[in-house]
Structure 1
Amino acid sequence: MRAEALKGHLDALLLAVLEDGPQHGYAVIETIRDGSGGTFDLPTGTVYPALHRLERSGFVHSRWDTVGGRRRRTYELTLTGRQVLSKEREVWNTFSTAVSTLLARRPWPATS
């Protein structure tokens, strides 16, 4: 699935992935891919700019770590990010319920 299909939902997915604890950028990409059964295989050019945007908004913060001699940036959810994620979940639940209802096969009443 193309990254454009996630437009408007990418930030919520990134926040959700970081909910259980800090992850470096590539681990975020792997978690999204693995957690979606491979449906969302997002390129780095989509994920990293979104993580930077979330950091500028105060929803995540990052730090540089060195692991095995390699530097990598680790991202972590902030308290504000947790609050935003909670609101995003509410919005998603309302949206997905409405879409599922409309997409269900059923005879619709005739309109006049």
Structure 2
Amino acid sequence: MTTASHTAPGDLVAALRLPVWNTLSARAEGLRRALPPRPDAPAARHAWLCSLTPEQARDAALLDHLDALCGHLAGRPALGYDADDPLPDAALEAAEGFNPQLTALILGYRKARATS
């Protein structure tokens, strides 16, 4: 088996995409369960946002961010991220620290990317 530090960045992108998506998706789902149900209609969504505590509002913003990153990783480019970037730094940062093996892969990816 090739170690992360000796694997090409493209191979690491393929190895990282699903585990990063899984981590971000799990974090988003935890936030979604902790928040009051979020309505779809714009006016109701605004009222919902106004009703949140400051902590819930931060969690709602993080939820939106994680949902956007999950979409980007799934092939639906998110605003503010290069459509050609299959693994934005923000996704890596949001996935770090939740799984030691994934964090090690992310570190290896960053090292490989820096040397290429």
Normalized against structure 1, the TM-score is what?
A: 0.31
**Of Structure 1 and Structure 2, which has the larger fraction of its residues in strand?**
1
The answer to which structure, 1 or 2, has the higher relative contact order (CA under 8 A, 6+ apart) is: 2
Normalized against structure 2, the TM-score is what?
A: 0.30
